[in-house]
Amino acid sequence: MRKLLKNIESLPDVEIAQTPEDLKIIAERTLTSREKVIYYVGSVEVLMHAFERSYDQGFYIPTRVELGVFVKMMAPDSEVLRAYQAADAGEVRETRVLPDDVTMDYSVMIHDDTVVFFLEDPKLYGLSIKSPALAATMKAMFNDMWRNAKK
């Protein structure tokens, strides 16, 4: 029994966000990123469904820029992605295009020791996992994909 309890104590912290307020709480944790980098891969459209434009443009992005938190973003090619790329310099971000054979109908945001999945299945929700090992693995996978993504 003690062995089982010890294993439970070492499990990652997991949260599920189901309301717009909960999704904002998860997003705003990225603003205090110790590494000052957010790794984002996936559907830009899912991100747009998660946060209303006034929150994104009026609070989140200006605050992130002011705090100097850089975003490395990869997403499938779309008009929305190209609009993001056009605004990269002013929004402290670099956006790249995923290869054509990579399709993603969800999004992943990685910062510090946390990995967050945003999904619509069919209702929008976020799954936040705080795990240094998982975050390190996801960052390594992201960086491998980044090398092959189109600018």
Topology given in CATH for the domain delimited by 13-148: Endonuclease; Chain A (3.30.870)
Q: Which of 81, 83, 86, 89 is nearest to 40 (CA)?
A: 81
pLDDT digits (tens, 9 = 90+) for 93-113: 999 999 888 888 899 999 999
Confidence band for 125, pLDDT divided at 50, 70 and 90: very high
Strand-strand pairing, 13-17 and 124-130: antiparallel
pLDDT above 90: residue 25: yes
Q: Which of 42, 26, 146 is nearest to 94 (CA)?
A: 146
DSSP, collapsed to helix, strand or coil, labels residue 76 as coil
- Rounded to an integer, the average pLDDT of 73-96 is 94
Rounded to an integer, what distance in angstroms lies between the CA atom of residue 133 and that of residue 151?
A: 29
CA 46 to chain centre: 11
Predicted TM-score of the model (pTM): 0.90
CB 148 within 8 A of CB 99: yes
**pLDDT at position 9, please?**
62
**Average pLDDT value for the chain:** 90
By CB atoms closer than 10 A (0-12, 13-18, 19+), residue 27 is buried
